[in-house]
Structure 1
């Protein structure tokens, strides 16, 4: 009984396989018909209407999607089922399909399958059930299930793909250029294919890449047997006539080109393919900020200069330039004759230097295409720290030759670090000792007046020595170190004992001489006085006699 049932199942499986084979054959015919029909339509549209690239792209991928969908539904899917890959029909579903072709066996076939399932569930009644199954199998054995599928019936569907195929072959024989050129335009969906002209458009430019802001000169040559007199260039907005520069050469200039353009040429009723004018960005400087940090001794708060250019700076100022650019990959900062290539940090370039001398700087951003045309050389003018000045007036004391008074004033542009009175004690031209005395002044002021008394009696000196003395003022230059200025250097000679004695003796002799002169002068005065008295008496006597 099991052998009979297995044979029945095999007959059902044969039917199922032939069922899928039939679907595969018919589906292949349908798929071919759709693909050939679409192909015929596409190459005819491409040849006669020469659609734009966007339209051709849409048609091409519509063809691919529709053809792929047809192949999957009508060819690939039944082929996989025929190979028993995927979810096939169950025995019961196949039995129903067989019953649709052989109506008199439909119920018997289904009952047989149901009884078999019942026998497996009820072993106690299996003998009786199996007897019924055998009887039904004997009735079904003569029926050829597989013959229900007629593969030859697919011949009537062949006409569906033979029709477009025949038209394609006929066009290929009668007008092969239509088939060839139409297919070429359709397949090259992303290319612009134009009607063949009796001449060629040849762009003479080495490349069509330009830098933003420059003049883009387009050069065109025409070659062929028939050369038109006029050539026009069109972009997305306008049409321009090219200047004829030779028998077959033409040119046109886009002034100060700023953005990419798509252009094409027209001459003699024919169009060229499209060309793209690539405009590479030019690097440019958006903003320059200079942060100024002044030397500490100036006591000046830091400053920030926006849109920095030329700068006037105190000597030793530390300057940090922050440079923001557009479309730059690197930046050259040229300070004087020194070039520094900078890399950006978060889109900003920075450079720091302490400036001590007059100089200039140049900022030049660049990218892979060009350097900036906006680079300007800016001046750095430095205010040097000036030398201090000093003026001193010396006055001797009226009562003592050992005391000298000094009055003076000092001046500097930024203040002082000190004022010193210096005495070099010399003996026989050799400095034996240096004495320095600081004088108090207001160091933060630009001018100071001072008064100083020098008592030589307090100095540890001896006769025969010379005292070289002067005042020295120093400024507070925190960059180069303090600079100094001296007053006039004067010398005081300390007399020896012998010189003092000679001076005293000379003084006594001089005094004696002066006394003798005074005595003589007094005698002369007395003599003259006596003589005057006598004269006056004589005049008085004469006057009395006259009255008589």
Structure 2
């Protein structure tokens, strides 16, 4: 008989424990929604006003989700796993103490029943007395609806607090949707660089944001609108530079001898900063070194020689010249000889070679070009021939002063 009463009591205690954790899940869900909705409003309001940097938005984004996952685990998942017997949960003795707080008339009876049931190593007579005591106490507590000790409807008083943050979000979204959507989008795409909308428009006056390498570039900017700052600054790298004011709405800044692409922003140094602009640096084709080898005709018995300075060259008629031309960023090298143009062959991307045999005074022009910038470097040199003369003999005759019939000859 006592086993039946104990089994029935334990089933009722299991029902109480399950309802206890169900109540925790419901209340925890309400707490979770309250916390996340309030946090969402707070973070959205801050982002809407301050336009945080990507680093700050990234920190806020992950902090929100860490807090959300932590709160979900603590308020909902933890009691849910205990209800499902996956994690250790409330013992029967702890349940008895909680029931006693709701029903003072049976304050200690359930606890005593559990103590009696746990007694071991007793005699048969004692066991009979224990069984009788258990049966008596079970009959005494049977009329009490211990499951009603947990009233799930009490959670309604917590749920009503959800009306405030949800109403704030709903009303704001209804009348000012961008106040909700725009900050949320920036926080979701936290790695994207967003800039606060400017109260004026920026117009780049340059035809294009491209400049040749090692060449100064003057950026010209015009501001359009009803109100704009008196001073405009340029953010470049880790520095900020004041732009020259040409008139009330036009500003300029000169970059000196750029050798790589750069990104820059325009700002008033207080509240407004533009998006990022990209200035592309186009590589210039440059002639870096020219070497000329001169091979005179064989009959002159002159040895080949090398020239580094080729501005004005004097060589023997019929000599053959070999040019080794080093160039950087050069896709094409053209040479013009006496108004006749031809393309110079290349051995690799940096070295071009050209050969010619010289039979007259000539003028050469070299033009280095690439596909992006066209012709950006050139040089001119002239070759003057040393004429090849016919053989000649000079002879002088002299008469002997003592012998009129004797002549002497000297010559070269």
**TM-score normalised by length of structure 2:** 0.56
Larger displacement relative to structure 2 (208-217 or 364-373): 364-373
Aligned to 2:194: 192
Report the 3-state secondary structure (helix = DSSP H, G, I; strand = E; otherwise coil) of the residue aligned with 2:348: coil
Q: How many equivalent pairs are there? A: 301
Aligned to 2:231: 230
Aligned to 2:210: 209
Please point out which of 298, 303, 317 is paired with 2:319: 317
Matches of residues 10-409 of structure 1 in structure 2 within 5 Å?
Answer: 43-44=44-45, 46-53=47-54, 56=57, 58=58, 168-169=169-170, 171-173=172-174, 176-186=177-187, 189-197=191-199, 199-236=200-237, 237-245=239-247, 247-267=248-268, 269=270, 270-306=272-308, 308-342=310-344, 343=346, 345-371=348-374, 373-391=376-394, 409=411
Mark the runs of 5 or more structure 1 residues left unpaired by the alignment: 1-25, 75-95, 101-152, 396-404, 410-448, 450-548
CA contact (8 A) 2:369 2:376 kept: no
Report the alpha carbon displacement of residue 208 of structure 1 after superposing the two structures with TM: 0.8
- CA-based RMSD of the aligned residues comes to 4.9
Report the alpha carbon displacement of residue 209 of structure 1 after superposing the two structures with TM: 0.8
CA contact (8 A) 2:205 2:222 kept: yes
CA contact (8 A) 2:186 2:192 kept: no
Report the 3-state secondary structure (helix = DSSP H, G, I; strand = E; otherwise coil) of the residue aligned with 2:195: coil
**d(CA) in 1 for partners of 2:385, 2:38:** 86
Report the 3-state secondary structure (helix = DSSP H, G, I; strand = E; otherwise coil) of the residue aligned with 2:378: coil
Task: Go from structure 1 to structure 2 and tell me whether the alpha carbon gap of 1:221 and 1:406 turns closer, same or farther (over 3 Å shift).
Answer: same
**d(CA) in 2 for partners of 1:51, 1:371:** 44
Task: Go from structure 1 to structure 2 and tell me whether the alpha carbon gap of 1:268 and 1:64 turns closer, same or farther (over 3 Å shift).
Answer: closer
Task: Go from structure 1 to structure 2 and tell me whether the alpha carbon gap of 1:59 and 1:280 turns closer, same or farther (over 3 Å shift).
Answer: farther
Larger radius of gyration: 1
**d(CA) in 2 for partners of 1:407, 1:179:** 118
**d(CA) in 2 for partners of 1:164, 1:304:** 87
Mark the runs of 5 or more structure 2 residues left unpaired by the alignment: 1-25, 74-84, 90-151, 399-406
Report the 3-state secondary structure (helix = DSSP H, G, I; strand = E; otherwise coil) of the residue aligned with 1:252: strand
CA contact (8 A) 2:292 2:324 kept: yes
**TM-score normalised by length of structure 1:** 0.44
Report the alpha carbon displacement of residue 49 of structure 1 after superposing the two structures with TM: 3.6
The structure with higher relative contact order (CA 8 Å, sep 6+) is 2
Matches of residues 420-459 of structure 1 in structure 2 within 5 Å?
Answer: none
Aligned to 2:114: none
**d(CA) in 1 for partners of 2:330, 2:65:** 45
